[in-house]
Amino acid sequence: MSLPPLVEPAAELTVDEVRRYSRHLIIPDVGMDGQKRLKNAKVLCVGAGGLGSPALMYLAAAGVGTLGIVEFDTVDESNLQRQIIHGQADIGRSKAESARDSVKEINPYVNVILHETRLDVDNVKEIFAQYDLIVDGTDNFATRYLVNDAAVLLGKPYVWGSIYRFDGQASVFWAEHGPCYRCLYPEAPPPGMVPSCAEGGVLGVLCASIGSIQVTEAIKLLAGIGEPLVGRLMIYDALEMQYRQVKVRKDPDCALCGENPTVTDLIDYDAFCGVVSEEAQAAAIGSTITPKQLKEWQDDGEDIFLIDVREPGEYEIVNIPGATLIPKGDFLMGNALERMPQDKKIVLHCKTGVRSAEVLAVLHSAGFADAVHVGGGVIGWVNQIEPQKPVY
């Protein structure tokens, strides 16, 4: 559906701005009027990571007058494979400040506002209220539902994107004109069911593919041109180089934007999404050891069976000596239980401790009551025991 422009045009473009944006100005659908609207627009990008990097860079290049950046993290070396707004010299710096400097280098006419904080129920409405449009570059379900609910409650449109390995998705959610994110995904998937990019990986260039779609949609909304992805989900398969669309209809029974909403204000999103299942939390109580304890057990010759529940690709990057690789999925399917010894203490680990806690709950329920897991996982092991090894 065609929608009216989201913002009014600015009073004028300077001579320098006309030169800078000339390739936009000669497009009939954009022209002076559309570029003035971009100049007058205020866009908030949630995250300056994989999706936020290309989004911020192209929003800046396009001439969006005010860009807000919500980001609390620092630049890590593992980010540089895909988060192209940051460079080698930025490792250890605030991502927000690094992104701001890159934006100003691309376009000094852009006003950049930093929100160096974790987005939560206490600040999201205040931050969102300052902007015309939200671009969601988050990578976890709790924040996605937070962004959606705040946008709906404030009447704000937002452009959503998601990436994993070789697959990406994008859409525009605007409850006044179509569905919201809850119409598409009424409930978050069970904890651990959908791996994060940190667990499963992502092709770096996929961020550019989806991020550029997000910016295209943002420009269309701001300038009032074309047919935005409202009510449509774009799905991209990079391996097959194939795009397909799925229609998303507004759900009359949606808990947030439906005819009789049951969600009328922000909620506890960690609890709603179950970042870690209750079973895993319960299993970890009293059954969590430190990497140093594991090293002591190994040095003392304790009779343990150490299991790495990550994926084979992760195991190849870095592993704890003596660990046997049995991926989490084998436990969830029940295939791994017959391999568990009855005469040894079972010790589990993963990357940081989340997946191993989920497997721990499975083992406890199967009768292996003395099984434990390593808090902090292989990352904790490298940091505390073998710092010469790589992390990811």
207, 254, 273, 350: which one is catalytic? 350
Spatial distance between the Cα atoms of 285 and 372, rounded to a whole number of angstroms: 10
159-162 own/partner pairs: CB under 8 Å, 24+ apart: 159/133, 159/134, 159/135, 159/214, 159/217, 159/218, 159/221, 159/229, 160/136, 160/214, 161/51, 161/136, 161/137, 161/210, 161/211, 161/213, 161/214, 162/210
Which of these, 118, 90, 120, 116, lies nearest to 105 by C-alpha position? 90
**Residue linked to tokens 């989201």:** 6
Tokens describing residue 170: 């994008």
CB of 309 closer than 8 Å to CB of 360: no
Residue 257 a catalytic site member: no
What are the residues whose beta carbons fall under 8 Å from the beta carbon of 334, sequence distance 6 or more?
none
Told to judge if 197 belongs to the known catalytic residues of this protein, a careful annotator would answer yes
CA distance between the termini of the chain: 43
Q: Which two tokens stand for residue 4?
A: 């009216």
| Helix, strand, coil % over all residues of the chain, rounded to 5 | 40, 15, 45
Annotated active-site residue in 45, 180, 183, 197: 197
Question: Can you spell out the DSSP letters for 364-375?
Answer: HHTT-TT-EEET
DSSP symbol at 344: S
* Cβ neighbours for 184, distance < 8 A, ≥ 6 positions apart: 171, 233, 248
CA distance 194 to 201: 12
Please check whether residue 160 is in contact with residue 171, taking contact to mean a CB–CB distance below 8 angstroms.
yes
Return the active site residues: 197, 350
